[in-house]
Structure 1
Amino acid sequence: MNDPATSNDRPATDAITGKPMPKPIPASTLVIFRDQPGQNAPDLLMVERSAKMVFAAGAAVFPGGRIDDADFEFARKLGHDDVDEYGARIAAIRETIEETGIAVAVEGDLDARRILDARAALHEGTVLADICNQFDWQLELEKLIPFTRWCPPFAEKRVFDTRFYMISHDDHGALATVDETENYNLFWGNAQSVLDRAEAGEVKIIFPTKRNLERLAQFGSFDEAVAHVKDHPSVMVSPNIEKRGEEVHLCIPEGIGYPITSEPMDAVQRGFKK
């Protein structure tokens, strides 16, 4: 098993202070596409986090969260050798059910009442493996397409090693509803519209979300996004600090699919309060 906490791709010290980096928390996020007939870009599902949250308070993000031990154990029970990868996929599905009430990459009876029951059970602490067994659900983990992976270079109290996945979900009748615990609102919107709302001050987006939305704004459909990631496979992204003239910039590597790779530090929205 590849331990994300010991990956050679993650930073060893804080990019600013030089302090040793804490062990990162494995996390998983799902970018849900809904192609819109007659429109030039697909909608994406975003959730707005509660202002009381420690990380990304008040920010619009993609559904997701930390990977639990039960997710890794479920991956083992399903016979996957790479439990880090498939535990992350399981967590992305679980967190999406918890946060939005939508079940993606699930085969079986997906009656709206059943999904609500599954969501309530997850909030009460029932593990997804038991829910799948009870409802005779099978997870279609191969439907999740690896998009990117981020681990920041700052020694915050919590550092997340987050895997991002993409999936298409064109069931326009599926009703997404906010969980009213970690999140207070959710909405569908194409990537550029979310960027425009952030520019207008209507929503808050942190640095990784902004860079990923800029990348996603290049695509007119889910199929275009899939073709893109075949040319630019998922890699670990760990931003670095660069002095450019009189400004200090937060930067990511060139050549990995991102159209914009830097932003002045004084404009950067970070996940934790400064």
Structure 2
Amino acid sequence: MHDAKPAATLILLREASSGPPEMLMVRRDRAMAFAAGAWVWPGGRVDPEDREAATSDLQAAQIAAVREAVEEVAMPAVDPETLVPFARWLPKFNVERRFDTWFFLARAPQADWKLELQDGEIIDATWTSAQAMLDRIARGEASAIFPTLRNLERLAGFATIEEAFADAAAHPTDPITPWVETRGGVDHIVIPDGIGYPVTAEPLTTATRA
């Protein structure tokens, strides 16, 4: 099995005029080798330069998450140390492209900025609530990979940004590695219970890349 490549994702949150907070999601170009055409949060690999600028693997991931958001959507740079660890996923099913991915929460920069999408990687972007994106996926209007779906379901439970940060602080960020388990004669992709996720299993036939 190939070694997992370190990666980082930034879930930017902002207050909505009404209802739950919104987050910035982007749609990957269909020509991309990983998660082509899927809706994700800005992010990517941890580069050697990120590691050189850091004193720990966690800090390198925080730096990478900010850098990727700046590159992908022209986000004004924020202090990487303000990013709050939310989850860490280490899937094992795809041996060619495995990523050890940190998911971070952060408040969107106060100043509005014009979204400028990175050519060749990002083809769309939107501010959306987690539930609104889940509804789009359920209607077949959008697609997302397994870790994104599970994180969207978790994020959909928060009425405020403060609730999201409190939930992040209340749960460990040990690597989450899904596995396959037969339930009722049907193979499911499963993650552990008790780590903050409301949905912990999905039939293998409907799951998109774990």
TM-score, structure 2 as length reference: 0.96
1:217 corresponds to which of 156, 165, 171: 156
Structure with max Cα Rg: 1
Q: Does the 8 Å CA contact 2:59/2:81 hold for their aligned counterparts?
A: no
Q: Provide the residue aligned with 1:43 in structure 2.
A: 22
1:89 and 2:53 matched: no
Count of aligned pairs between the two proteins: 210
1:189 and 2:128 matched: yes
Q: Hey, what's the Cα distance between the residues in 1 that align with 2:109 and 2:94?
A: 39
- Within 5 Å, give how 1:69-84 maps onto structure 2: 69-75=48-54, 80=55, 82=56, 84=57
SS at match of 1:149: strand
Q: Provide the residue aligned with 1:103 in structure 2.
A: 76
Q: Does the 8 Å CA contact 1:32/1:167 hold for their aligned counterparts?
A: yes
Q: Provide the residue aligned with 2:33 in structure 1.
A: 54
Q: Provide the residue aligned with 2:13 in structure 1.
A: 33
Q: Provide the residue aligned with 1:153 in structure 2.
A: 92
- Within 5 Å, give how 1:118-129 maps onto structure 2: none
1:254 and 2:193 matched: yes
Distance 1:166 1:220, change over 3 A: same
Q: CA deviation at 1:154?
A: 1.3
> Which aligned segments of 4 or more residues in structure 1 are displaced greater than 6 angstroms?
none
Q: CA deviation at 1:48?
A: 0.3
Q: CA deviation at 1:171?
A: 2.8
Q: Provide the residue aligned with 2:141 in structure 1.
A: 202
SS at match of 1:148: strand
Q: CA deviation at 1:180?
A: 2.4
Q: Does the 8 Å CA contact 2:72/2:118 hold for their aligned counterparts?
A: yes
Cα-to-partner distance string for 1:73-111 (whole Å, 9 max, x where unaligned)? 011xxxx3x2x1111100000000000011242xxxxxx
Higher helix share: 1
Cα-to-partner distance string for 1:132-179 (whole Å, 9 max, x where unaligned)? xxxxxxxx2221000000011214211111011000115362222211
Q: Hey, what's the Cα distance between the residues in 1 that align with 2:97 and 2:136?
A: 28
One-letter code of the match for 1:242?
E
Cα-to-partner distance string for 1:201-255 (whole Å, 9 max, x where unaligned)? 1111110000000000011111111111121132210001100012100000000
Q: Hey, what's the Cα distance between the residues in 2 that align with 1:30 and 1:173?
A: 17
One-letter code of the match for 1:30?
L
Q: CA deviation at 1:40?
A: 1.9
What is the alpha-carbon root mean square deviation over aligned residues?
1.3
* Consecutive unaligned residues in structure 1, runs of 5 or more: 1-20, 106-139
SS at match of 1:173: coil
* Consecutive unaligned residues in structure 2, runs of 5 or more: none
1:143 corresponds to which of 78, 82, 107: 82
Higher strand share: 2
| Identity across matched positions, percent | 43
